């Protein structure tokens, strides 16, 4: 263990975990960080954040229908406390449109545009390739196991809403 490190001073500060649970969390964090950066390269090429891409992806999945802002926010992979401005930026680029309907002027319906869908199509292959780069070295069995353990890990932390994601 512990890769002695040819580093002069640092005595290879043994990564000592306070608990197994902490070890899992730090592993989760680091793996997420490393793997995310691969995907981010693809998004950066078209000036999107992962979160923006995700919003568009969800909008595309209900196309040609629209989606209330709050519902969209609730379905994003990671929570976003600032839907308004996230949508502002995408709307300004013409990737989606917002409209209020007379029947309930409180809700803002969001719909992806043709440009939006076209942008998604344009990067679709590159995104898939980045996923391959992320996990292509693992066996199908290991991947299923990992997905399963991840679901299991967050299961008690899901709120009643977004269960749609958990099952499946």
Residues that bind DNA (CB under 7 A): 4, 40, 44, 47, 49, 51, 68-71, 79-87, 89, 98, 102-109
Which C-beta is closer to DNA: that of 92 or that of 137?
92
3-state SS class at 86: helix
Task: Give the separation between CA 130 and CA 105, rounded to whole angstroms.
Answer: 41
Give which of a second copy, DNA, none residue 38 binds (C-beta under 5 to 8 Å, depending on kind): a second copy
**Closest approach of DNA to the CB of residue 105, in Å:** 3
Give which of a second copy, DNA, none residue 45 binds (C-beta under 5 to 8 Å, depending on kind): none
Q: Report cis status (omega within 30 of 0) of the bond before 159.
A: no
**Which strand (E) or helix (H) includes residue 39?**
helix 20-45
Q: In angstroms, how far is CA 123 from the centroid of its own chain?
A: 16
Task: Give the separation between CA 117 and CA 115, rounded to whole angstroms.
Answer: 5
**Closest approach of DNA to the CB of residue 68, in Å:** 4
**Closest approach of a second copy to the CB of residue 92, in Å:** 25
């Amino acid at each position: 263990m512990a890769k002695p490190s040819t580093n002069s001073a640092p005595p290879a500060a043994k990564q000592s975990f306070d608990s197994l649970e902490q070890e899992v969390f730090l592993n989760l964090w680091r793996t997420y960080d490393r793997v995310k950066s691969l995907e981010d390269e693809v998004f950066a090429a078209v000036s999107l954040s992962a979160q923006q891409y995700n919003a568009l992806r969800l909008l595309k999945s209900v196309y040609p229908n629209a989606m209330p802002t709050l519902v969209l926010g609730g379905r994003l992979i990671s929570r976003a406390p600032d839907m308004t401005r996230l949508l502002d930026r995408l709307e300004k680029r013409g990737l989606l449109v917002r409209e209020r309907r007379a029947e309930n002027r409180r809700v803002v319906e969001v719909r992806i545009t043709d440009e939006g869908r076209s942008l998604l199509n344009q990067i679709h292959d590159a995104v898939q390739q980045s996923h391959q780069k992320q996990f292509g070295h693992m066996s199908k069995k290991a991947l299923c196991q990992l997905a399963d353990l991840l679901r299991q890990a967050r299961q008690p932390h899901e709120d009643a809403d977004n269960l749609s994601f958990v099952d499946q």
